[in-house]
Structure 1
């Protein structure tokens, strides 16, 4: 039996956030806390337990819990803004609760009343949920080999998972497995469960402290109460797909904000003007000024589409149908194109405008490009253009899955 990676998992003690305004305020407070050590955490690939605890105990991890279960049920537009604010400080830590929010959405969509009460109470108390959904060896992202079989009052699961973001820091993991009818089921299990092993082997160039490594599932027993029929979320129109996508787009928006913030600071404080500009400071170089202005405008456009996408999801939440879910997916697709492109552009332009000295290892400014390049690979943004164009030209609605 393999041994799980060691990381202190403390009992939670979260506050409960009551409304959207409080969520935004707390997000800024958490961002200030995370920004201070973001570069050093990227260098060392280490996240002190007190940092993770402070983040989850802030109450931000429970803001999507429905009001009838004691949560703030913030709008989707607010959630996207919260994720972007935190991700502008540290996008690796900003990504950790992204799947947590998606798992809470699974509970909302497919849980019984008793299941919702139990797991939403955990979320409000500060328990962190991580994913064990994807696999790395199949033909594509939907080729799932992990299996679930009935065993007494519950089920046994066997498989190998990859890209398990936040697994090292989690109290609970959501494990995706196929049942005897090849239907996707989602099982929630405590991290210390027998048969569950977290392997701290994430070794990407970017998003380095997300703990997006491997989870081994070997004879893991799960009580029936902990199982959710997640396949049902795609048998009918729901916001499961666009919800997952807007949270991803928000992280990219945060990365772009971070890159532009550090570009402005470096140009003001350390960059040199080009000799032909005839100015004293890089911040007075007219071509640099134009480039920074362009980055800001494109980031504002991306943020505007992100906010608009959130509002479209909010409008569809009460009674999602084919048309409203399609519009939600299209709105998020448009936003994701721009957040992807500005994250990559801004993190690249930082070096062009900062000059050679901006590449020095001591500044660690390459982390913005590394984060942008890695996180925007979550799903191919070229297919977002296809989704929008196919709807416009042929009236074909976006596909129903987690990437649309």
Structure 2
């Protein structure tokens, strides 16, 4: 009877953390070991109970605090992040819950600007974030890792790490104190892998990766604006050629819609003016208007209107619009004419037709350059809070 009682005894947080770490090490040594998987599932369920509680079991903040401290001390978050694809289904779900609770846990009466797990990760173990991103390389880990990432991305410092890390496999990831905002990237870091995860993954992986990608680009606007300014050509070359021109209808449509959101956000005014200065961007957009799928046409229209409405069009953009003036004036009145219940769209079409009618016979030098701040070296991005 004593033996049975000891087996049922709940483990203390520090003991539980060490035990799970040891089991994860054994899982790597003997993949698909049923006994190890069963022990892991049972102990992860116990850990979830500590951080989440149930209707019958209350959460004890001090016990959660002990668990968070133990998990950070034992480097358990890294081991869980790199092992999540190897866990049984229910254990993966429990790991997602545990991770998310630990990331947002703040000790009682704490005045810190961010939870201790976030502070630890960005300053000491950024590899945790890189492993979570690489979860998109396996369909089993993609969605739980994506959910954890989006919890972490609520904090600007996490977004900064993911944007500016350029480490190769097996290399240490960048720590927060080494992030230099506004520096140009090589296109080799973990952030740039999202383009392929979105475009080449299965539908479930692609959809989740895109959700995280969108969170990265829209959550912390000042940080991202500086990043896009510093990496304008590299970013939009990949964005247009891989995502906007994707063979996947869903990826194509979502990417065009996100592009519109980015360009029309006031925080990205400098990025928008630089984007609409480019003739190749306008040509891409005009081709979207002729796509076989109406929703692609519709999303493309919201990009096209920014080019036409810009009062300081570049010479190149003016020339393309002037050369296509007659065709556009015939095309636009009939464009998506079945959207009769969308008054705003109808008004915008009429406005664009009027702007095109008013185009001069020849391009006129714009009153100011709208792209000088993008490719120069004088970008002064905001500090990471």
Note whether the superposition's TM-score is higher than 0.5. Answer: no
**Higher strand fraction (1 or 2):** 1
Greater RCO between the two (CA within 8 Å, min separation 6)? 1
Q: Which structure: greater helix fraction?
A: 2
Q: With structure 2 as the length reference, what TM-score do the two structures score?
A: 0.31
TM-score (norm 1): 0.30
- Looking at CA atoms only, which structure, 1 or 2, has the larger radius of gyration? 2
